[in-house]
Structure 1
Amino acid sequence: MSARILVVDDVPANVKLLEARLSAEYFDVMTASNGTEALAISRRAECDIILLDVMMPDMDGFEVCRRLKTDPATHHIPVVMVTALDSPADRNRGLEAGADDFLTKPVSDVVLIARVRSLTRLKMMTDELRMRAITSLEIGMQAPERSAVADTGKGGRILLVDDRESSYERLATILAAEHTIDVEPNPTEALFHAAEGNYDLLIVSLDLNNFDGLRLCSQARSLERTRHVPILAIADPENSTRLLRGLEIGVNDYLLRPIDKTELLARARTQIRRRRYTDHLRDNVQNSIEMAITDALTGLHNRRYMESHLATLAEQASIRGKPLALMILDIDYFKSINDNYGHDAGDDVLREFAVRVRKSIRGIDLACRYGGEEFVIVMPETDLHVAGMVAERLRRSIAGEPFAIHKGTKRIEVTISIGLTTLERKGEAVADVLKRADTALYRAKHDGRNRVVSQAA
């Protein structure tokens, strides 16, 4: 696993030491001797993780971190402060500035590399989501960066898994000042609780009685519903080796007892902010996918989706020896609706038409806007006779009730013509089925419209 690590320190000896350690693990190492240079490199997206010293002459590490985390272009880059400062106040100041971790020199190679690898996995996942979400920006969806920068990380839903009463009571009291807390003292029930609770953060004690806390963390990572929920592990100091193992299996952050109140809150906020940001990215990706295959006006699938999905449905029907019905629907005299009442009225008709189509077909049926006022409905495992009844029911649904236009101030009569056919020959080309349905539609229109015409294979 390779990543570009930016080492920021004004002491050349410190830089050389970190560079040697990281290069030995096959990371690409970049260096900067001051905060200004580090900010410039970060804004050019040239690094994946930043190892940041605190004591620097032009701008201290706290200020550098604050600027990184408040800049929409760099807030997602993990920052680890590596410094000789070791007081709880310094650590908390770094975490409050947005640092993902605060390591005190001298840092053991094992701890440093484990933390860098853990953050590398996180950064790569975030980068993949960011790359996929670029399409969302191109189609006008809002980027999540600015909301992520403004997010305080408060108001999260946290599940605390701890079977020591004195411990979980204290931790829950601290966290309740900023979040909604559920406590699960029974580790065997914790995974079910986590899967059902829609949590923003899991806090897991690794010192559970008669239960392996790391196994619980591993199970949470393997379960679909909890795979992306951040995990903050808590352990006694003698269990630091298990914490490093936890980082390898997907634990996001950790704390050693005795727990500092301010540090606990700061680390929880960091994880919740990151969870919300990645969730927003995933939502953007999903929405962009849906928009790419959905007609924006009617909410039905578009022609691109229909053409690709119809081929799959036809192949499945052929393999299983099942019929497949297809109908093309055309709104009669639609151009005159636009000409007489305006294009807004035409849009009103198309939207209401789509609603009535959905009410007339099954969940397994595929309804698409084929183009303009033409629509296609594909009905798996449906023969010509049954499809004809569905088509007639739909025709009556359209003709039987006027369509409201101009925000309901006017109602107009609308009818449709339907051409219907089925795929019955194994391996028949989809284009031939569409052409046959289109021919049936032409006959319906030629014979006077507002009717269903079937054409067998």
Structure 2
Amino acid sequence: MASDILIMDCVATNRIVLKVKLLAAQYRVRPCATLGEALEEIEVSKPDLVILDTCSETEAVLDAFRTLKATPETALIPVIATGGFTTPRDRVLALEAGADDVLTRPFDDHILQARLRSLLRARDARLELQLRDGTRSALGFAEAAGSYVAPARLVVASTHASVADGTEALRPRLANTRVTHLSCDQLASDLRAAAQADVVVLDLRQGPFDDTAFYRLLSDLRSQSGTRHAAILALLPPDAQQAAAMALDLGANNVVTAQVHRDEIAHRCAVLLKSKREADALRRTVKTGLEAAIIDPLTGVYNRRYALPHLSRLSQESEASGRQFAVMVLDLDHFKAVNDQYGHAAGDEVLQQVAGRLKDNLRAVDLLARIGGEEFLVAIPHSDAAHARRTAERLCALIGEAPFFVGPDRQELRITMSVGVSLNSVDDASQVFGSVDEVMSAADGALYAAKSGGRNMVSLGAA
């Protein structure tokens, strides 16, 4: 669906030209002649992006920026300020008021289109973060924010020593931020110098500008694991308009080609640092969500949702290699009596300790999952019957021979475990038989035999 862009400019010619350019790029456009008209339009229907001219009603427009960013319903809408900006300080005032970017007239069409794409991508990422945070809160996964914020890391790579001296002024303007300076050649030859950086500033305003080398450096920063998530600010010469547009599409978060005040650089870095932290939070949210989907929250081992697809992959690998795998179903004996006599909190402690013992005595390649209340599953690749039985007997003894201690008074409990073991079958030609369902069913049958045979024992079945 085409993005909806609202533009406000008191000059009719500017509105018409900008509208034609945006319509040609397949955007939906709402032109407004006055700030009041624009604010009414925003109130009626929230646009995806706003472009406001600052040449007329300058103070009122800056106030509008502040209001839009302070209002929850419009805070995430990207705002571009356009105008003459006769001094570098004018640009800073617009940015500090809340504009996400500033474009000095006359602005290059390629730059405009690239900035629109970049800002809309960033808006979508922030909307996703907000949505996921809301979902996490609704599910009860949200946690209070910690009071400690680790220092941010800013890496400034420049083409000229005097430029680095100028960016040294960023240090006092960015609180809780470590600033590292190096040359562009140093960064290009060893990207590890910027590993784990939150923001990388590429300052290419002085010296001969090599666009090919610049594109290569941008691509390398985005392709390496240590730098791909860093925010990138490129400071380019005024005549590098085409390179600036290309840089935004190659992954730079922000590009400046105009003469800028050091306060503008510091402000842009601060905004990028904030956005980087939000993006990091989004990735952590995704990771936490995935873990919540496949990890048993009580014991910290995998759950049934993860275990069954894992068994399917083991079965496919077994068919390809001609080697068997073993499945064990482990069930704690008389566990209901533990909950009834000592309480569910004590039962939970026992389950956690059982999971810990099992995990500490299995290989990294083996699978351990909790698939029921007191039932666990172990899958062992490349195993024969003798190896599977020895492992099951060792785990069974591991639970039954050492006591468990639960509760604040560390009360001693004795728990035993029954184990059913099954392997997929293989013939003399190394042909593997037995589906995952058949192997699981055989392991369940073997567990029933172990329970019927007196518990605290191992029984071996066959798929």
Q: For the residues of structure 2 that align with 1:381 and 1:124, how far apart are their CA atoms?
A: 46
Q: Relative to 1, partners in 2 of residues 1:143 and 1:22: Cα closer, same or farther, differing over 3 Å? A: farther
Structure 1 unaligned regions, length at least 5 = none
Q: 2: CA distance between counterparts of 1:356 and 1:42?
A: 60
Q: Structure 1 pair 333/58, CA: closer, same or farther in 2 (3 Å)? A: farther
Q: Which residue of 1 aligns with 2:183?
A: 185
Distance 1:414 1:196, change over 3 A: farther
Match in the other structure for 2:271? 270
Q: CA deviation at 1:307?
A: 1.7
- CA deviations on 1:20-53 (whole Å, 9 max, x unpaired) are 2211111122345666776787689843322123
Partner Cα distance (2:194, 2:94) in 1: 34
Task: State whether residues 360 and 390 of structure 1, in contact with CA within 8 Å, keep that contact through their aligned partners in structure 2.
Answer: no
Q: Which residue of 2 aligns with 1:70?
A: 70
- State whether residues 43 and 73 of structure 1, in contact with CA within 8 Å, keep that contact through their aligned partners in structure 2: no
Q: Which residue of 2 aligns with 1:230?
A: 231
Asked if the contact 1:205/1:235 (under 8 Å) is kept, the reply is yes
1:356 paired to 2:357: yes
Partner of 2:311: 310
Cα 1:158–1:109 change in 2 (3 A) is same
CA shift in 2, pair 1:369/1:5, >3 Å: same
Aligned counterpart, 1:21: 21
Residue matched to 1:4? 4
Q: Name the counterpart of 1:92.
A: 92
1:456 pairs with 2:454: no
- The residue aligned with 2:243 is 242
Flag the 1:310–1:71 CA change in 2: closer, same or farther, 3 A: farther
Query: What SS is found at the alignment partner of 1:225?
Result: coil
Q: Which residue of 1 aligns with 2:429?
A: none
Secondary structure of the structure 2 residue equivalent to 1:367: strand
Deviation for aligned residue 1:169: 2.2
Q: What is the deviation of 1:285?
A: 1.4
Q: Secondary structure at the match of 2:169?
A: helix
Which residue number in structure 2 is paired with residue 370 of structure 1?
371
Q: Say which SS state the counterpart of residue 99 (structure 2) adopts.
A: coil
Give distance in 1, aligned partners of 2:196 and 2:78.
25
| Amino acid in structure 1 at the alignment position of 2:202 | V
2:121 alignment partner AA:
R
Which deviates the most, 368-377 or 118-127? 118-127
Counterparts in 2 of 1:162-177, with a 5 A limit? 162-177=158-173
| Change in CA separation of 1:187 and 1:387 when aligned onto 2, cut-off 3 Å | farther
Structure 1 range deviating more: 321-330 or 168-177 = 168-177
- Indicate the SS of the match to 2:240: helix
- Judging changes above 3 Å, is the alpha-carbon distance between structure 1 residues 323 and 413 closer, same or farther for their aligned structure 2 residues? same
Aligned twin of 1:300: 301
Q: In 1, Cα distance between the equivalents of 2:121 and 2:224?
A: 18
Q: 1: CA distance between counterparts of 2:49 and 2:371?
A: 48
> Do residues 203 (structure 1) and 201 (structure 2) align?
yes
Alpha-carbon offset, residue 135 of structure 1? 4.5
Q: In the TM superposition, what whole-angstrom CA distance separates every residue of 1:85-115 from its partner, at most 9, and x where no partner exists?
A: 4333321122113322111233332332222
CA pair 283-40 structure 1, distance change in 2 beyond 3 A? farther
Q: 1:36 to 1:343 in 2, by over 3 A?
A: farther
Q: Distance in 2 between matches of 1:240 and 1:191?
A: 26
Q: Separation in 1 of the partners of 2:137 and 2:36?
A: 30
- Of 113-122 and 344-353, more deviation after overlay is shown by 113-122
The residue type paired with residue 172 of structure 1 is E
**Does residue 157 of structure 1 match 2:163?**
no
Q: Deviations over 1:344-368 (max 9, x none)?
A: 1111111111111110111111111
Match of 1:83 in 2: 83
3-state SS, counterpart of residue 120 of structure 1: helix
CA contact (8 A) 1:204 1:217 kept: no
Please, which runs of 5 or more residues in structure 2 have no aligned partner?
427-431
Distance between the aligned counterparts of 1:216 and 1:326, measured in 2?
50
Superposed CA RMSD in Å reads 3.1
Structure 1 residue 446 and structure 2 residue 452: aligned? yes
Q: Distance in 2 between matches of 1:154 and 1:300?
A: 30
Counterpart residue type for residue 169 of structure 1: D
Stretch moving more, 434-443 or 32-41:
32-41
Whole-angstrom CA distance in 2 between matches of 1:107 and 1:57: 21
Secondary structure of 2:142's counterpart equals: coil
> What's the CA shift string for 1:389-409, capped at 9, x where partnerless?
222222222123221211353
Tell whether the 8 Å contact from 2:88 to 2:260 is kept in structure 1 after alignment: no
Deviations 1:364-420 (A, max 9, x none): 111111111011111111222222222222222212322121135312111111111
Amino acid at match of 2:324: P
Is the contact between residue 231 and residue 252 of structure 1 (CA under 8 Å) also seen in structure 2?
A: yes
Answer whether contact 2:157 2:187 (CA < 8 A) is retained: no
CA distance 1:186–1:306, shift in 2 (3 Å): same
Shift of 1:432: 0.9
Question: Alignment partner for residue 436 of structure 2, among 419, 425, 430?
Answer: 430
Distance (whole Å) between structure 2 residues aligned to residue 84 and residue 366 of structure 1 = 65
In the alignment, the residues of structure 2 paired with residue 366 and residue 351 of structure 1 have an alpha-carbon distance, to the nearest angstrom, of 16
User: By how many angstroms is 1:277 displaced?
Assistant: 0.8
Contact between 1:129 and 1:285, CA under 8 Å: does it hold in 2?
no
Aligned to 1:405: 406
Match of 1:291 in 2: 292
Give the Å deviation of 1:287: 0.6
Deviates more, 1:202-211 or 1:410-419: 202-211
The alpha carbon displacement at 1:197 in A equals: 2.8
Q: Which amino acid aligns with 1:173?
A: A
**Cα offset, 1:259, TM superposition:** 4.2
The answer to whether the Cα contact below 8 Å between 2:194 and 2:227 also exists between their aligned partners in 1 is no
**SS of 1:181 mapped into structure 2:** strand
More deviation, 384-393/171-180: 171-180
The worse-fitting range, judged by mean Cα deviation, of 300-309 and 233-242 is 233-242
Instruction: Tell me whether 183-192 or 367-376 shows the greater mean CA deviation.
Output: 183-192
Identity of counterpart residues, as a percentage? 33
Residues 354 and 64 of structure 1, relative CA distance in 2, 3 Å threshold: farther
TM-score (norm 1): 0.88
Give 1:57 shift. 6.3
Equivalent-residue separation in structure 1 for 2:435 and 2:360 (angstroms) = 29
Do the aligned partners of residues 265 and 194 (structure 1) sit closer, same or farther apart at CA in structure 2, a change above 3 Å counting?
farther
